Amino acid sequence: MTDLTTIFKNHKAFIAFVVAGDPNFEATVDQVVALAEAGCDLVEIGIPFSDPVADGPEIQAADLRAFDQHITPQRVFELVVAIREKTTIPLVFLTYANIVYQFGYAAFAQQCQSLNVAGLIIPDMPLEASGELRPTLDHYGIALIPLIAPTSDDARIAAIAQQARGFIYVVSSLGVTGTRRHITTDLATLVAKIRHATTLPVAIGFGIHEPAQAQAQAMAQIADGVIVGSAVVHLIATHQPATAVLRDYTRRMRRALDGRTADTVD
C-alpha cells in the first residue's frame, strides 16, 4: 500500500481530481494516465454521488455525465483495475459516507487495498462520525484523509490532526468546490496551527485553478502540495479528448510548484 506521505518528500505535490466515468469509462483511464505521465503526484478519483454536498456546479455536472454512463461504485473499482494496468500513480477516492456504508465498510476497504487505493476523503463524515469506519480502514491500511476548514479552532484542529492519516486536506475557502480568483483565508496561520498539531503533510484545495496562483498566493511556500479539482474537471468537460490539455496543465502546474515560470491557463 502506498504511503501517501512519500509523495511530498522531494517536492511540492500536485494532486488532481477527476470524476470516475466523466465523460466515459475509457476516457477516465486515459485522463489518469495522462496526469501521471505529465508529473501529477496523486490522483483523487471522485465516485459519482447524487447529493455531493461539498461539490460545486462543475463537479456536480460531471457526476451527472458519469451517471449517464451507468457508473456505480463497483464500476469505479473496475475502472481502477483498468488504470492499474497502465500506471502505478498513487490514488485516493473522494466519496461520501453513504456510498461506503452501502457497499460495506470491510468490502470497500478490502477492494481499495487490493487495488492500492491508498486513502479516502469523505467530506460528509466529520470527525465525530468517523469512529465506526476508522478501525476498518486502519486494518486494511487505508488512510482516512481529513478536511480542515478555515473555521476550525485550535482544539478542533488538534483533535482532527490526532486521528489523521496520509495527509491533511486544508479547505482554502468556505463554500463548495470551484475556482476562485482570490482566496482571502489566512492560510499561513491556519497551516501553522496544523503543523503545530501534526507532522503529516498539508495540501491546500478548494479554489486553486491557475499555475500562477499556486505561486502568487504563496500556497506552494505555505503547504506541502496543492489540490486542483474543478479546474481539471472543467478542462475535461471542454476538451475531448482531454489528454493533451491535461498534460499541458499538469506540466505548467508542476513548473509553478517548483518555483519556475508558469503563466496562467486560459
Active site residues: 44, 55
Other residues' Cβ atoms within 10 Å of the Cβ of residue 141 = 16
Residues contacting 76, CB < 8 A, separation 6+: 20, 21, 45, 47, 93
Locate 11 and state its grid cell: 517536492
CA distance 55 to 237: 16
Longest dimension (CA), the chain: 47
Q: Which residue has the cell 494496468?
A: 85
Q: In whole angstroms, how far apart are CA 162 and each of 35, 97, 156, 200, 264?
A: 32, 21, 10, 10, 37
**Per the omega criterion (within 30 degrees of 0), is the bond before 241 cis?**
yes
